[in-house]
Structure 1
Amino acid sequence: MTFGSLTTPPTQPPAPAPVWRSFVRGSLGAGVAVGARAAGALILNKLFAVYAPAGGLTLFAQFQSLMALLTTLPSEGVQVGLVKYLAPLQPGSARYRLWLGAAAALNAAVLLLGGAVLATQGLLGWGWGSLGVFMTGIALLTGQGLIGAALLAAGRLRAYIGLSVALAVLGTGVAATALLRQLPLHIVMLSYLLAQGLTVLLALGLAARAGLLRHLRASGPISFVALRHLSQFLLMAVSTLLFGKAVDYVLRDYLLATYGAARTDLWQVVAKLSDNYTMVFAAVMSSVFYPRLSALAGQPRASRHYLYGVLGLLAPVLAVGLWLIFACRDWLLPLLFAPQQLGARDFLAPQLIGDWAKFLSWVFLFQLKVKARTGTYIAVQGCAALVFAALLAVLLPRFGLEGAVLAHAACYGLQLVACVAFQARMKNGK
């Protein structure tokens, strides 16, 4: 005999949380590190705009671009792949050590190659002593990034955030002190790099405390399988380097030679402002969106649902946020930089429109990294660089310095359209 009032109803599985809620919760978790880096960048931009000689902001940006040329392959290639392959492994295990050793070997090879190119091309235009200091700082910074990737793969988010905060505080503090003491500009920039690089000592301490360095030996074997798999991510980073960072460096060099440092500073103001919020967006996507999308790699339907959910959240939120920046331009630019650079507001609208399209297209491109679709990723980056170069060739002679931001807006607008079309084709194909 069944007593309906005494029977236990079947347990219903809890409804899945909306995509936007989990994404926002994870984004807030990474907010401390992102906020520290953004604050440090804003402070440095202000100090260089006020205390550096005319054109100093652009020269500092060019120095940071040179840093990026040498750290992009490790940070956006080797380290990205390392997070993917270390995440499911037990720290200290034999396979864990093989992956970490392969990543360290690839990073060392990339640094040696970069140093050789720098020495032969003389990109810095400094003496051998300064070049040695520069490469030492790059090597330390790369080592810190490698250990940071291991912390992130192990889920040590609090330690990773602490490391990011230390990087921002130390780099900003040392560079600000050097600027206020009116040291030569190249000393200021090298001090900034070395201060960031010294955070490798903190990284080693955090990794040791987390048990990530157990059983590691400098003479351990190198796994060619691990090298081959990590090299796929390295190839994708090569495309970012050649078709992104290198293009930025060459463009800035051309603008400096054509319009002079003081005039180019106006373009650099909007580019630096863009760099600040781009850094925030990239950090959130790398620490929240990419790991979650990677976890869903074997579930195509859930992966698409998550991607579309994040896109549906980001498109209006980014549009409103970028519009607010434009609406506040008359007081925001003098506040963040210097009053004499208010003329940069004429370049702001195309930059913001292009950034909106860029951010949304990045959401699609993260899929290619998750699926390790190296050829497609390189093709997209290469085509975008060619289109950008063609647009610059047409727009710079006609519009002058403003042509650079118009080309930026048009290029990323076309890239977003191409990404949407490619995504629709993939969906219909399945």
Structure 2
Amino acid sequence: MGALVQLWIRVEVGNTLGADSLGHFQAAWTISMQYIGFVLAAMGADYYPRLTGLINDPKAATRLVNEQTEIALLLSAPVFIAMIGLAPWVIELLYSSAFKPAVEVLRWQILSDVLKVASWPLGFVILAAGAGKTFFWTESIMLLLLGGLIASLSPSTGLKITGIAFLVCYLVYLPLVYLLAKRSIGFEWTGSVVKLLAIIFTVCVAVAVVSTLYWWGAVVAVVLTLVFCFYTLVRLAHMSNVGGLVGRIAAMARQIRIKIGLKHE
């Protein structure tokens, strides 16, 4: 289904917007799929077998899904922020300045990737519970919605719909798989995961707006990327009880969070 919808989208973009727009779309699509696919594939090899072993223990499975969601968001956040802020340079480095129209598409797709990362661990709950047909139809609905939006709106909206459509689809898909996971194992996000997702998405939107309007948006993106890199290091060190200097920094950061009322659940 995925391959067919991708082909449908390419044909629609090429026929409606022309070969140049198809190339711009393909450039943004390739970058978005490759960097986020690397993160998810690396974790999926370990996560799915563990989830399958715990699926009959709803509390343990819920804890694992929350942990995996937080880890995925932590590892992805610096990349999201950097890619959004530095999108013009990334496109020019990997392709050329002629691909400038792909920048806007890429930024929209990265915003959707934030939601994609949050939904990714939830999709595995459906598979681990043995609901393969439900998973198939859920994915199919999302893909058909994506193709339908692009096919129907590209004549009036132009190339940017190929990015906006991704965001719209994941705004639909994320609540859907969340409800299915809740029905399957009584799943609920912890408060810390909700806060982290909200913060990352808000920061990414802000960076996208600022970097689109002002040249110094790239500087803001770099600073925020470094901040999130540090926070990711500290948080992961705390979660894994790492010792040494990193562990001490994590312990200090935890005490600060407690004092200001941001203690993780």
Report Cα offsets for 1:330-363 as digits up to 9, x if no partner.
2221112223213311212211111221222121
> Is the contact made by 1:391 and 1:411 (CA closer than 8 Å) also made in structure 2?
no
The alignment status of 1:324 with 2:101, answered yes or no, reads no
Query: For 2:116, which of 355, 358, 367 is the aligned residue?
Result: 358
Query: For 2:125, which of 358, 364, 367 is the aligned residue?
Result: 367
> Is the contact made by 1:267 and 1:344 (CA closer than 8 Å) also made in structure 2?
yes
2:100 aligned partner: 342
2:54 aligned partner: 296
- How does 1:5-404 map onto structure 2 within 5 Å? 242=1, 244-404=2-162
Asked which structure has the greater RCO (Cα within 8 Å, sep 6+), the reply is 2
> Is the contact made by 2:9 and 2:151 (CA closer than 8 Å) also made in structure 1?
no
Distance 1:270 1:279 in 2: 14
How far off is 1:385 after superposition? 2.7
Report Cα offsets for 1:180-236 as digits up to 9, x if no partner.
xxxxxxxxxxxxxxxxxxxxxxxxxxxxxxxxxxxxxxxxxxxxxxxxxxxxxxxxx
Distance 2:28 2:113 in 1: 11
Percent identity, please.
Answer: 23
2:181 aligned partner: 423
Query: Residue 325 of structure 1 aligns to a residue in which SS?
Result: helix
Distance 2:21 2:186 in 1: 49
How far off is 1:290 after superposition? 1.4
Distance 1:382 1:344 in 2: 26
What TM-score, normalized by structure 2, do the two folds share? 0.64
1:217 aligned partner: none
Distance 2:101 2:174 in 1: 29
Rg larger in 1 or in 2?
1
Report Cα offsets for 1:368-402 as digits up to 9, x if no partner.
22222122112212221332234224431321121
Distance 2:49 2:147 in 1: 33
How far off is 1:247 after superposition? 0.2
> Is the contact made by 2:5 and 2:144 (CA closer than 8 Å) also made in structure 1?
no
Query: For 1:409, which of 167, 171, 178 is the aligned residue?
Result: 167
- When residues 276 and 428 of structure 1 are mapped into structure 2, their CA distance, relative to the original with a 3 A threshold, is closer
Distance 1:381 1:283 in 2: 17
Distance 1:302 1:332 in 2: 41
Distance 2:100 2:168 in 1: 24
Distance 2:106 2:60 in 1: 38
- When residues 281 and 378 of structure 1 are mapped into structure 2, their CA distance, relative to the original with a 3 A threshold, is same
Report Cα offsets for 1:139-159 as digits up to 9, x if no partner.
xxxxxxxxxxxxxxxxxxxxx
- When residues 282 and 311 of structure 1 are mapped into structure 2, their CA distance, relative to the original with a 3 A threshold, is closer
Runs (5+) with no aligned partner, structure 2: 189-265
Distance 1:326 1:290 in 2: 29
How far off is 1:413 after superposition? 1.6
Query: Residue 248 of structure 1 aligns to a residue in which SS?
Result: helix
Distance 1:424 1:368 in 2: 10
How far off is 1:407 after superposition? 0.8
Report Cα offsets for 1:10-61 as digits up to 9, x if no partner.
xxxxxxxxxxxxxxxxxxxxxxxxxxxxxxxxxxxxxxxxxxxxxxxxxxxx
How far off is 1:326 after superposition? 0.9
> Is the contact made by 2:108 and 2:164 (CA closer than 8 Å) also made in structure 1?
yes
> Is the contact made by 2:112 and 2:166 (CA closer than 8 Å) also made in structure 1?
yes
Distance 1:403 1:429 in 2: 33
- When residues 395 and 258 of structure 1 are mapped into structure 2, their CA distance, relative to the original with a 3 A threshold, is closer
Once the two structures are overlaid, the 10-residue window that deviates more, 262-271 or 286-295, is 286-295
Distance 2:147 2:93 in 1: 33
Q: Aligned letter for 2:21?
A: R
- When residues 283 and 427 of structure 1 are mapped into structure 2, their CA distance, relative to the original with a 3 A threshold, is closer
How far off is 1:428 after superposition? 4.5
Q: Which has the higher helix share?
A: 2
- When residues 252 and 338 of structure 1 are mapped into structure 2, their CA distance, relative to the original with a 3 A threshold, is same
How far off is 1:291 after superposition? 2.1
Q: Alpha carbon RMSD of aligned pairs, Å?
A: 2.3
- When residues 392 and 330 of structure 1 are mapped into structure 2, their CA distance, relative to the original with a 3 A threshold, is closer
How far off is 1:261 after superposition? 2.2
User: Between Structure 1 and Structure 2, how many residues are aligned?
Assistant: 188
Distance 2:57 2:117 in 1: 24
What TM-score, normalized by structure 1, do the two folds share? 0.41
How far off is 1:293 after superposition? 1.6
